[in-house]
Structure 1
Amino acid sequence: MSIDTVRDLIPAYAKDISLNLGSLASETVLNDQQKWGTFLASAHAIGVAPVVKAIEAAAAEHLSPEAINAAKSAAAIMGMNNIYYRALHLMHNPEYQTIPARLRMNVLGNPGVDKIDFELWSTAVSAINGCGACLDAHEGELKKHAVPAAQIQTALRIAAVVHAASRIVASEAALQS
């Protein structure tokens, strides 16, 4: 299965999204693990079944089982952290930022893949979930490891296009029900 499976689900009015999926799938700014992990984490963060299934199948051709698990873990942990830290960021009461989160986040310390890859995936998911605090934190970690802006931007582009494709597929499915 390839990214073309997702592209086939996209109607003509969203041709730009389809074209962007194709060009991002052949993008070389990220290595294959970084790229396909970003696709997979992004798809799982959004959770539109046909897109998740197609991207997971395409990613399985490029990722080890450990990397697949880590990409899903990035989507899962950011699903929690993005809500929590976005809320702290948006609330005007600074007291909440002084209270320990007391949320388990062990996967951040040992994600099962290269830390830079996991940070890229977490950045993409944080963009999808709209958490500025998490975006800043993950981008800061990537910059500490001298990850070029072009690589971070590519992860963000993948997140944006997978998000758009997922929303289109979901809205078209709604018309069919």
Structure 2
Amino acid sequence: MTEAASQIATALPATAGQSRDTVGQSLVNTTVTVLVDGEPADPGDRGELVVSGPTVTPGYLDDRATDDAFGEFGFHTGDRGYRDEDGRLWVVGRVDDRIVTGGENVDAAAVASTIRDCPGVEDAAVVGQPDEEWGQRVAALVVGDVGDDAVLAHCRSDLATYEVPKTVRVVDSLPRTPSGTVDRDAVQRLLQS
């Protein structure tokens, strides 16, 4: 992360082998706080990752941007994650990727991960789409040799009812930005067409 001199946590080779999806533990003199409703969270609770320490920028050129990005516990990264009992950090998605459907919060990254575990699926992207009744509905763009019904059956076996996608579309590839990340706006457009 540019605002933190690029690195916040490191997974040592031995630790990374045991827990493949962790980003490791915070660097020395760097504090990562997981905030839930503005308060520090307990291990295992998911919230926004907030970073402070000597490598974190003191602010932006624009005072308003600085006020929006910093709080009592430091720089708000916009990433969602948690810390486990051993102090390892796990990033599970972005704050702005959360889908609220019928008053329930859905973690788009967790749904995409579940879909990727479905036999025949190579990749998936999950977004919230506008819904007149529920506010948003869960929608998935899926890559692989798989049908919509198989994806939905897999999701129903592993997810809460409100997390199961209401829309599934199988495509040849996910749209990506020049940096290689999933282009969420393009995903939205493909699912709406």
TM-score of the aligned structures, taking structure 2 as reference length: 0.25
Give the structure with the higher percent strand.
2
**Relative contact order higher in (CA < 8 Å, ≥ 6 apart):** 1
Give the structure with the higher percent helix.
1
| Higher Cα radius of gyration | 2
